[in-house]
A and B are shown apart, each in its own frame.
Chain A
Amino acid sequence: MKPPPFEYHAPRDLGEALDVLAGAGARGKVLAGGQSLIPIMNMRLASPEHLVDINRLHELDTVEETAGGVRVGALARHSRVERLRAHPLLGQALRLVAHPVIRNRGTVVGSLVHADPAAELPAVLAVLDGSVRLATAGGTRDVAARDFFTGPLESAVQAGELAVSAYFPNTRPRSGTAFREVARRHGDYALAGVCAVVTLDEDLRVERARVACIGVGAVPVVVDVPCERRPAATVGWDEAVRAVREATDPEGDIHASAAYRRHLVGVLAEQALKEAARAAV
């Protein structure tokens, strides 16, 4: 379990990094936290010829809180974002990501680019309609979450592009959030998980409810669930559960059957929606 030979690049600033990436093209890979990439390389499942280490790009080690949301730079570690009070859902999600030592190294943007279908952060980006900013030497483009995740472990990042930041919009006023998942062991990737955002109207009745589900499709499955415009505590979520189960198409694997995952995503959707509705009040 040693990686095959690769050329190691340690650019000092963004411009240099983008130049190196442009030169490497499809043969290049970006190293940020390395919590997924390094094991994959050690198992020789990935063998990039050029490894572009962005850990010296301090300009990307940023977390900007704005009126509309939070922009997380490509070097911001999970542990830093986890403690961000401004965005409770990010904290709720990050506490489910692996273990503290991994969160001290792993980056939020790295998790998004890795695009594991059972990972929490893609669901957060998706449920919030966030976006990822991609840069080349020629300029930048923002890709919306719904376009960013293109398949299991596949994202819209093109060869030569660097994901420099991700934008997580704030929830609307009178919104509550929750993240529920079932993993086989503490910190493992979820068998299924649901993050929910429930928004109330001025009379504290449920106005809008939305979930993003993980582990039950190739990419996070976002469902705007049907809900009755009633006070949060009195809303029944049966319809929502049915809609979630219909919208998801889980596959079975060595850890759980498809039938179990479909069952589970409904259970978790109801729990997450109830919790989010309570938090919204």
Chain B
Amino acid sequence: MTTRLFGEPVQRREDPRLLTGQGRYLDDLGQGAAAAAFVRSPHAHARIRDIDVSAALDVDGLIAIYTWEDLPARVGQPLPLLIPHPALTHGRTALPLAKDVVRHVGEPVVMVVATDRYLAEDACALIEVDYEQLKPVVGIEEAVQGAQLVHEDVPGNVGAHLVQEVPSTTGTSAREAIEGAPHTLAFRLDIERSASMPLEGRGVYARWDGTDLRVYSSTQTSTSVRMAIAAALNLPLPHVEVIAPDVGGGFGVKIVHPWAEEILVPWAAMLLGREIKWTEDRREHFISSAHERGQVQHVRVGFDDDGVIKGLDVTILHDHGAYTPYGIIVPIVTSTQLLGPYKIGAYRVEFTAVYTNTVQVTPYRGAGRPQAVFCMERTMDKIARHLGKDRTRVRAANFIGPDEFPYDQGMIFQDGRPLIYDSGNYPEMLRMVKELVGWDDFEPAPNRGIGVGCYVEGTGVGPYEGGHVQVTSDGRVHVSTGLTSQGQGHETVFAQIAATELGVPIERVSVVTGDTRRFGYAVGTFASRAAVMSGNAIALACRKVREKALRIAADALEANPDDLEIDDGLVHVAGAPAASIPLSTVAVLANPLRYAFDEEAAKATQFSGAASPDKPPVAEGEEPGLEGRDYYSPIRSTFAAGMHAAIVETDPLTAEIKVLRYAVVHDCGRLINPMIVEGQIHGGVAQGIGGALYERMVYDGHGQLLNASFMDFLMPYATEVPHVETAHLETPSPLNPLGIKGAGEAGVIPVSAVIAAAIEDAEGFAIDRMPISPSELFDLRTASRPAQGTAQGTAQEVSRRPEPPER
């Protein structure tokens, strides 16, 4: 079939627009709007004694200044705690503007509206806030001590504490299993902070016409922002529209909502009766949006002579920053996804989420998984090293077998549903990645190392997404879905699905996402769920349209609907292409008309003779028009998987770390568009390289973020990202009609684990803390050779390492 596009590497249809500067991002809109800016706390922890705005009142162009005192009760409430959880006993969220206490540098205190952003910032600079500084809590260790409190009413700074136990099949607890195992190891692992850091920050633009409120937001969920705004501003839902325009990356930070600005900007727009826009700048994004990663893990593991894990006990300290608006999703994902592709004899995981006087922590691409995979894969490598075994053999000894699906890990996943893997083939994937990177042929050499890392990723979490498909009388197909796009390629893959299902050329299909005017019901774009959720919903909606089209065409062609096919936009009898009717005509026939406003419409008017005079023009049970709407709501997540391997070289003198090879084998079920999947993997690996070798959030003891700019927060350039070699395995998901799994986060997940393993292999000492810089590698070398001192090192400085018996 010429129109079979599912599975083809179709060029991204959004690229000509996005790559030639034709995208319409938040700040491209509302050029005449007034600008909002915020006075943000310069202190990590302080009590607000007084706010003096008098000096700012003389600024030309000033329109309004608001503090918490000015906010009506509904607006001035704490922002919602989006995902409550029984273990989150002390959930806390920020006020839209701080009232008494600020709890991190960057917390908004005063909102200023002026005719432009320059003037708004001038006014901000003249507002004097008198603070009484309080001692800040910075870092996990300080939080755990509990000597100082971030929230006065949260004892010990503990927001959440959760213990999950999965005993062995014979009922043995993890701790008993570890005690009884032939070998045990105990160690500590550290992962530092990083952040989503989309190139476009957040932004909100609001218009109020006296009746209706339209809000544009650079968000990952326009439908939920709409409901949050309607609730906070006490507006009837039909009078609120929220649109996500082109969004320059989200990576998790924009699923958090409503941000303070998403409430305050529309509120002020209504109050002032004028358009207002707030565009987040880079410094604001660093200090007042959200960060992630940031865990300390204490691991105990017991295993047998083959490296089979008998018991695993992980205690996680999770730095949650100042607030928990997105609940404890990140540590829950870490706890559950830590198991990866393995059958662990008995598992115990305990996490404590602590508050610190730093930017709040919410999911960033990977969402707790990079930490989890770092933990499990470091554990596998340590077992292999302890036993002198090949690292891949130890992993294989613990794999879930291809015939063991569905496999129940015995835990509750982030969607509140059982952690049951739907499908996968881990031994084959390991074989493929070893072959791709050349594992068995790798020649050990000084300062060269190889590493591997495996993960399983629960994708496509519910509860649902929907799709609407309409064929108009010009033969065009209009697809809409409520979730949003941040550049992933939805316009392409959703069009591929619709074109394939309806048998039309892809050029006739257009896709709209994230516009509540077009589709009001949605959850959002996160958790690698868009293709799975909306992709299947759109396919189901297309099937409804197709069925109706065939029914109408069958009448017109006097044929049986079961004998009809749609090809290139023509409905025809199978094997008899001459007997055909264009889908555009079917659309005309589907909508009986009174008025002949054009030639096509004339065919559907009352006197065209198309319908029987003895029946109602719209038959009972039918609706006018050729359109369909359907929803996809899965019973639970579908589990994608991947394995990465890397070869690195460390400079014996400068301690620079170079990634020579990076290989990825990836399984996201059936591929809709292999080129887009590879692009997602490449982007994910690039972010993973950032997390492994470059990015961190450097807080000093006062809670000041020392690297809040792209000069000092080292996002890797193209020059720092290695070429990524990919191979695909396709084990379809049995859970959804298209057999697909999510791919959005995959690339980032195991990178820190893989790079740590390869550096460890190159250097011969343990790498238990990521990211790692050349300076830190130098310090580790120095520490591992205390006799040689620190000022050594010219050409003879080549690292030595004990050769393991097997690689």
> Contact residues of A with B, CB < 8 Å?
1-5, 39, 43-44, 182, 184-188, 191, 238, 241, 245, 254-257, 259-264, 266-268, 270
Q: Pick the residue among B121, B775, B790 that contacts A2 (CB under 8 A).
A: B121
Question: Is there an interface contact between A1 and B281, defined as CB atoms closer than 8 Å?
Answer: yes
Question: Is there an interface contact between B716 and A185, defined as CB atoms closer than 8 Å?
Answer: yes
Question: Is there an interface contact between A182 and B654, defined as CB atoms closer than 8 Å?
Answer: yes
Which of A2, A187, A255 counts the most B-chain CB atoms under 10 A from its CB? A2
> Contact residues of B with A, CB < 8 Å?
117-118, 121-122, 125, 281-283, 653-656, 694, 698, 706-707, 709, 711-712, 714, 716-717, 719-720, 773-775, 778-779, 782, 790-795
A-chain residues with CB within 8 Å of residue B707 when the two chains form the complex: 254
Question: Is there an interface contact between B773 and A255, defined as CB atoms closer than 8 Å?
Answer: yes
Question: Is there an interface contact between A184 and B122, defined as CB atoms closer than 8 Å?
Answer: no
Cα of A234 to Cα of B632 in the assembled complex, Å? 75
Question: Is there an interface contact between B793 and A257, defined as CB atoms closer than 8 Å?
Answer: no
Which 3 pairs between the two chains have the least Cβ-Cβ distance?
Answer: A186-B719, A256-B775, A260-B775
Question: Is there an interface contact between A241 and B773, defined as CB atoms closer than 8 Å?
Answer: no
Question: Is there an interface contact between A187 and B117, defined as CB atoms closer than 8 Å?
Answer: no
B-chain residues with CB within 8 Å of residue A4 when the two chains form the complex: 121-122, 125
Q: Closest Cβ of chain B: how far from A273's Cβ, in Å?
A: 12
Q: Closest Cβ of chain B: how far from A80's Cβ, in Å?
A: 24
Given the known A-B contacts A254-B707, A260-B779, are A270 and B794 also in contact in the complex, defined by CB atoms under 8 Å? yes
Q: What are 9 of the A-B contact pairs (CB < 8 Å)?
A: A4-B121, A184-B694, A186-B720, A259-B791, A260-B655, A260-B779, A262-B790, A264-B778, A267-B794
Cα of A234 to Cα of B221 in the assembled complex, Å? 67
Question: Beyond the given A255-B714, A267-B653, could you list 14 further A-B residue pairs with CB under 8 A, ordered by the A residue number?
Answer: A1-B282, A2-B118, A4-B125, A5-B122, A43-B283, A185-B714, A185-B720, A188-B714, A241-B794, A255-B773, A257-B775, A260-B775, A261-B775, A263-B790
Q: Pick the residue among A5, A184, A241 that contacts B714 (CB under 8 A).
A: A184
Question: Is there an interface contact between A260 and B694, defined as CB atoms closer than 8 Å?
Answer: no
Given the known A-B contacts A2-B118, A2-B121, A267-B654, are A185 and B719 also in contact in the complex, defined by CB atoms under 8 Å? yes
Query: What is the count of residue pairs linking A and B with beta-carbon distances less than 8 angstroms?
Result: 86
Q: Closest Cβ of chain A: how far from B772's Cβ, in Å?
A: 12
B-chain residues with CB within 8 Å of residue A261 when the two chains form the complex: 775
Q: Pick the residue among B122, B717, B778 that contacts A263 (CB under 8 A).
A: B778
Cα of A40 to Cα of B719 in the assembled complex, Å? 26
Which of A39, A184, A263 counts the most B-chain CB atoms under 10 A from its CB? A263
A-chain residues with CB within 8 Å of residue B716 when the two chains form the complex: 185
Question: Is there an interface contact between A238 and B654, defined as CB atoms closer than 8 Å?
Answer: no
Q: Closest Cβ of chain A: how far from B40's Cβ, in Å?
A: 12
Question: Is there an interface contact between A260 and B774, defined as CB atoms closer than 8 Å?
Answer: yes
With CB as the reference atom, state the residue of chain B lying closest to A99. B717
Question: Is there an interface contact between A266 and B775, defined as CB atoms closer than 8 Å?
Answer: no
Given the known A-B contacts A43-B283, A191-B775, are A266 and B720 also in contact in the complex, defined by CB atoms under 8 Å? no
Cα of A257 to Cα of B655 in the assembled complex, Å? 13
With CB as the reference atom, state the residue of chain B lying closest to A257. B775
Cα of A214 to Cα of B791 in the assembled complex, Å? 18
A-chain residues with CB within 8 Å of residue B694 when the two chains form the complex: 184-185
Q: Closest Cβ of chain A: how far from B288's Cβ, in Å?
A: 13
Q: Closest Cβ of chain A: how far from B598's Cβ, in Å?
A: 51
B-chain residues with CB within 8 Å of residue A186 when the two chains form the complex: 717, 719-720
A-chain residues with CB within 8 Å of residue B779 when the two chains form the complex: 257, 259-260
Q: Pick the residue among A188, A256, A263, A267 that contacts B773 (CB under 8 A).
A: A256
Q: Pick the residue among A5, A39, A260, A266 that contacts B778 (CB under 8 A).
A: A260
With CB as the reference atom, state the residue of chain A lying closest to B655. A260
Question: Is there an interface contact between A264 and B654, defined as CB atoms closer than 8 Å?
Answer: yes
Q: Closest Cβ of chain B: how far from A116's Cβ, in Å?
A: 11
Question: Is there an interface contact between B282 and A256, defined as CB atoms closer than 8 Å?
Answer: no
Q: Closest Cβ of chain A: how far from B737's Cβ, in Å?
A: 45
Question: Is there an interface contact between B698 and A254, defined as CB atoms closer than 8 Å?
Answer: yes
A-chain residues with CB within 8 Å of residue B283 when the two chains form the complex: 1, 43
A-chain residues with CB within 8 Å of residue B793 when the two chains form the complex: 263, 266-267
Q: Closest Cβ of chain A: how far from B787's Cβ, in Å?
A: 16
Question: Is there an interface contact between A182 and B656, defined as CB atoms closer than 8 Å?
Answer: yes
Question: Is there an interface contact between A254 and B712, defined as CB atoms closer than 8 Å?
Answer: yes
Q: Closest Cβ of chain A: how far from B161's Cβ, in Å?
A: 32
Cα of A263 to Cα of B785 in the assembled complex, Å? 15
Cα of A281 to Cα of B654 in the assembled complex, Å? 27
Cα of A256 to Cα of B779 in the assembled complex, Å? 10
Question: Is there an interface contact between A184 and B773, defined as CB atoms closer than 8 Å?
Answer: yes
Q: Closest Cβ of chain B: how far from A55's Cβ, in Å?
A: 22
B-chain residues with CB within 8 Å of residue A254 when the two chains form the complex: 698, 706-707, 712
Q: Pick the residue among A1, A44, A259, A263 that contacts B125 (CB under 8 A).
A: A44
Cα of A241 to Cα of B653 in the assembled complex, Å? 13
Question: Is there an interface contact between A238 and B775, defined as CB atoms closer than 8 Å?
Answer: no
Which of A5, A256, A260, A261 counts the most B-chain CB atoms under 10 A from its CB? A260
A-chain residues with CB within 8 Å of residue B698 when the two chains form the complex: 254
Q: Closest Cβ of chain A: how far from B716's Cβ, in Å?
A: 7
Question: Is there an interface contact between A259 and B790, defined as CB atoms closer than 8 Å?
Answer: yes
Question: Is there an interface contact between A187 and B706, defined as CB atoms closer than 8 Å?
Answer: no
